[in-house]
Amino acid sequence: MRSILVPVLLASVAQAYVDELVGEDQVFNAVLDNLFDRVLEASQLHGDADLDSSTLAKTHPDFSRALQAASNQRAMSSMFPAPVASRSQIAVRGPCQASMGKRAVTCSAKPKVSVGLVGAGLVGKDLIAQIESNPPNGLDISVVAVARSSVMALGAGAPKNAADGKGDPTDLVKLGDFMTGQEGTKVIVDCTADDGPSEYYAAWLEKGINVVTPNKKMGSGPLKRYKEVMAAAEKGGVKWYYEATVGAGLPIITTVQDLIKTGDKVTKIEGIFSGTLSYLFNQPPGQAFSALIADADKNGFTEPDPRDDLSGTDVQRKTVILARECGLEIDMDDVPVESLVPKPLESWEPTAEEKAQGLAKVFIEKMKEYDADMTARMEKADAAGEVLRYVGSIDVKAKKASVSLSSFPKNHPFAATQYADNIVSFASERYTPRPLVVQGPGAGAAVTAGGVFADVLRAGGVFR
Ligand SMILES: NC(=O)c1ccc[n+]([C@@H]2O[C@H](COP(=O)([O-])OP(=O)(O)OC[C@H]3O[C@@H](n4cnc5c(N)ncnc54)[C@H](OP(=O)(O)O)[C@@H]3O)[C@@H](O)[C@H]2O)c1
């Protein structure tokens, strides 16, 4: 086989292939022919030459990715059931493995998605169960690697091995290398609550691995790092998906993205983003705040240290994520937060004896001293025909965001929340004077894993 080395392939040209291949539903052969011609054009070579795929893959990874995108696109479509001949010298074997040097184009039935999971706790375990029990028709999807805090299992049987504590010490660089060698669309899912894995996103994305996460640390972390990750995704020709960081499985991020992509101008977003704080303020009036916290604790709604919920930091993170989605270049420090933890209790460190009694229990006892303030606020709101709701708010026009306990009329959508509902209202040029409202449970392993799974499928091209 004659082999040519394509000396120069501009990244922008390769990106154009990807855009074209992914963005349009074209006849596959024509796409491949076009791709081939443009490689020759970009390399200033002409004629009917065979291409050595492994040389090209090494020297021009962008071209390889473009070819893979073509292959995925081809195999995703039921419009092309049978292998067809092409004038192009590119042969595609299976949806994800491409080689060149032959004239025939062959494709297997199912495109492949290889998932590497970091974090197999409540959400991660549920995600594995959902992938294993509901693989979508037409997609060959499997979890090929699972990393926990100290052990990492790669290859066949990874979920079970990791659950049993079998494998090697966790090494997220090695995980990235392993995923690079996997077939088809590669996806690493970060299902930890830790900031550590965020540091690897850029490297993974640059290698052409999609990243999916319900972890808020990257989305609300330093703006500089956030921008680097966005740039890395662009460079790698893949995406970072984070729908489940706000509202768990509710369509919040995609709603904003769809509004913006279709030319609408989002003017304001307000939301009840914490299930715990939603639960507290959805209870009938007349109860002391400490009693409400005790009830939430009894029903499993609070963190082991209730201050983690009451401080508003979690809501602040979600507000930053949404604000950035609307183009605001802000960091956590730019978002003022009204903490519901009384000042003296912010720095309270429980003694060993108090810890033994249960941190939450002792904290709730201490909160009783401050009940009068909250009772007065609740009664004032009630007298005005209003209710209190803990809300993150983004004023896009003013480029400002904040988190506070605010009062809403009883006929406002936020007054109609129940149980631990999340609710988000999007005001835009189109959605005015009535905003678009999304409401529902915004926490829980099953719904969160479902939101993550949907992102994995987006990466795999299912919703294209
Ligand atoms: N649960 C929900 O309802 C919900 C809702 C929305 C969003 N989320 C988000 O989803 C994420 C996961 O939540 P979860 O409830 O599943 O947490 P979890 O039950 O505490 O599980 C965390 C998992 O991450 C692993 N882990 C921690 N640090 C790690 C590291 N540096 N490297 C590798 N693995 C590490 C842990 O390993 P070990 O197994 O070794 O301990 C564990 O498997 C969090 O970011 C959370 O904020 C959760």
What CATH number did the domain enclosing 163 receive?
3.40.50.720
Residue 84 within a domain: yes
- Contact (Cβ atoms closer than 8 angstroms) between residue 84 and residue 74: no
Residue 38 is predicted with a pLDDT of 60
Query: If we measure between CA atoms, which residue out of 134, 122, 180 comes closest to residue 154?
Result: 180
Instruction: Please check whether residue 423 lies inside any domain of the structure.
Output: yes
**For ligand 1, is residue 444 a contact (CB within 6 Å)?**
yes
Specify whether 243 is located in the same domain as 257: no
Q: How high is the pLDDT of residue 463?
A: 75
Last-in-domain residue among 37, 71, 105: 105
Distance 201 CA to ligand 1 centre (A): 16
Compute, in degrees rounded to 10, the torsion defined by CA atoms 247, 251, 255, 261. Answer: 120
Ligand 1 atom nearest the C-alpha of 120 is 43
Contact 384, 407 (CB under 8 A): yes
To the question of pTM greater than 0.85 for the whole model, the response is no
The total of structural domains in the chain comes to 3
Specify if 1 maps to a domain: no
> Which residues are within 8 A (CB) of 327 and not within 5 positions of it... i.e. 6 or more apart?
396
Using most ligand atoms within 8 A of CB, pick from 150, 192, 279 the residue to mutate for ligand 1.
Answer: 192
Q: What pLDDT, on a 0 to 100 scale, did the predictor assign at position 28?
A: 55
Question: Is-contact 5 53, C-beta < 8 A?
Answer: no
Q: Looking at the structure, do residues 403 and 357 belong to the same domain, yes or no?
A: yes
Q: What are phi and psi of 61, to 5 degrees?
A: -60, -30
Full DSSP string of 13-59: HHHHHHHHHHHS---HHHHHHHHHHHHHHHTT--SS--B-HHHHHHH
Q: Give the range of the structural domain holding residue 91, as residue numbers without chain letter.
A: 11-105
Q: Whose CA is closest to atom 8 on ligand 1?
A: 214
Distance CA 267, CA 98 (A): 46
- CB of 246 closer than 8 Å to CB of 324: no
The token duo for 221 is 């972390």
Token representation of residue 9 = 């392939």
**Residue 5 within any structural domain of the chain:** no
Q: Using 70 as the pLDDT threshold, list the residues of the chain that sit under it.
A: 1-109, 464
| 150 in the same domain as 58 | no
pLDDT computed for residue 137 by the predictor: 82
Residue 443 CA: nearest ligand 1 atom is 3
CA atoms of 270 and 251, how far apart (whole Å): 15
Query: What is the set of active-site residues?
Result: 318
Instruction: Tell me how long the chain is.
Output: 464
Q: In angstroms, what is the span from residue 351 Cα to ligand 1's centroid?
A: 27
Output the CA 192–ligand 1 centroid distance in Å.
Answer: 3
Is the beta carbon of 120 within 6 A of some atom in ligand 1? yes
Q: Are residues 91 and 149 in the same domain?
A: no
Burial label for 339, CB within 10 Å (0-12, 13-18, 19+), is middle
Residues 79, 126, single domain; the answer is: no
- Are 97 and 161 found together in one domain? no
Amino acid at 463: F
405: Cα separation from own chain's centroid: 27
Q: Which of 105, 133, 161 lies at the terminal end of a domain, its last residue?
A: 105
Q: How high is the pLDDT of residue 76?
A: 42
Q: How far is the CA of 118 from the centre of ligand 1 (A)?
A: 9
Tell me the best of 191, 212, 447, 452 to mutate to test the pocket of ligand 1, counting ligand atoms within 8 Å of each CB and taking the most: 191
At 212 the pLDDT is 98
Q: Whose CA is nearest to atom 40 of ligand 1?
A: 149
Is cis: bond before 433, omega within 30 of 0?
A: yes
